[in-house]
Amino acid sequence: MNALPRRPTPRSDPAAADAANAPSGGPQTGAAADVEHGVMPDGTPQSANPRAPLLRRVSAPLRFGARLSRLSAHALRGQRIVTREFPRLDAAGRTQRIRDWSAQLLRLSGIELHVSGTPLTSPSLVVANHVSWLDIFAINAVQPVRFVSKAEAARWPLIGPLVQGVGTLFIERQRAQDVVRVIHQMAQCLQQGDHVGVFPEGTTSTGLDVLPFHANLFQAACSSQGTTPVQPVLVFYADRASQRYCRAAAYVGDETMVGSLWRICAAPRLRVELHYLPPLQSTNRRTLAEQTRDAIAARLRARLGSRDWGQV
């Protein structure tokens, strides 16, 4: 396996958003080189576009206040949907509400969604790299899945009732044996026809590399009746104009949700790309985890090495 160079220390909270340091290691090419050598997100040298950073700093407080207000109102609307509409909707109706609400959240955040590849329609284990707290909503805007999340997420202000209402599977990380219970829950959901989503890195990264995968949760795809397909998904954030890597959405280190939202507002307009890759199957969870990580890492290298979306 051809490993990617390591990046700044990731965050241990699977919510997600900010890169800290510039890439390290050997000579970089493509988007990574742009990050290191001071190229603006629109492709011009920093010195050639001196007013852009100043204009963004001036307008960022206004965008931040407006977006925070809209996102808060949107979260409250989501709670009303979960408590008032979900009880009288069938599974298809709930899925559509989740998809619509998640897509609207991206729009309110000023983020464009771009999809490459085809999501599986049959039950699958959706496995993605983890960059931002926006990852879950981006994936749900395309194909709602039942994510596995840390138990603390159920107690988050505004978001907690939402993640509970959409069928999130919670895991108590402090209890080593709780993973067995969650694997059984995941297998049952897959057998019932649901899509289940996991971020097996167990943390977030800057989006410039893929961290090692924990293999435990892959057992759900091996132990359900027969083998369930695993669909790797690369989550990639880019500047909308240049389509080059942008780390404004990354949620790493000691970043707070407010700080993350501020960075997103201060950055140029963003796009989140979801690359749905061919499904994988195996009866061995470690093999499956390694193959899935390799597929996502290979697509990430290709995406970072390309300046033109059409070349990916």
Note the pLDDT of residue 3. Answer: 44
Residue 3 burial (C-beta neighbours within 10 Å; 0-12, 13-18, 19+): exposed
Per-residue pLDDT of the chain in tens (312 residues, 90 and over written 9): 444 444 444 454 443 333 333 333 333 444 444 443 334 444 434 444 555 555 555 666 777 788 788 888 998 999 899 989 999 999 999 999 999 999 999 999 899 999 999 999 999 999 999 999 899 999 999 999 999 988 887 877 667 778 888 889 999 877 878 999 999 999 999 999 999 999 999 999 999 999 999 999 999 999 756 679 999 999 999 999 999 999 999 999 888 878 888 888 777 789 999 999 999 999 999 999 999 999 999 999 999 986 544 333
Rounded Cα distance, 194 and 197, in Å: 10
Tokens of 207: 């989006």
Amino acid at 40: M
How far is residue 156's CA from residue 152's CA, in Å, rounded to a whole number? 7
Distance CA 105, CA 256 (A): 19
Q: What pLDDT sits at residue 115?
A: 98
Nearest to 179 by CA among 210, 223, 226, 145: 223
Beta strands (DSSP E) in 82-145 are 111-116, 125-128
Q: Say which DSSP state 154 is in.
A: G
CB burial string 104-140: b at 16+ within 10 A, e below? bbbeebbbebebbeebbeebbbbbbbbbbbbbbbbbb
Q: Tell me the whole-structure pTM to 2 decimals.
A: 0.78
Residue with token string 């996502």: 296
What confidence score (pLDDT) does residue 112 get? 97
CA–CA dist 19, 249 (Å, integer): 8
What is the reported pLDDT for 60? 67
Domains of the chain with CATH codes: 51-306 (3.40.1130)
Q: What is the pLDDT of residue 2?
A: 43
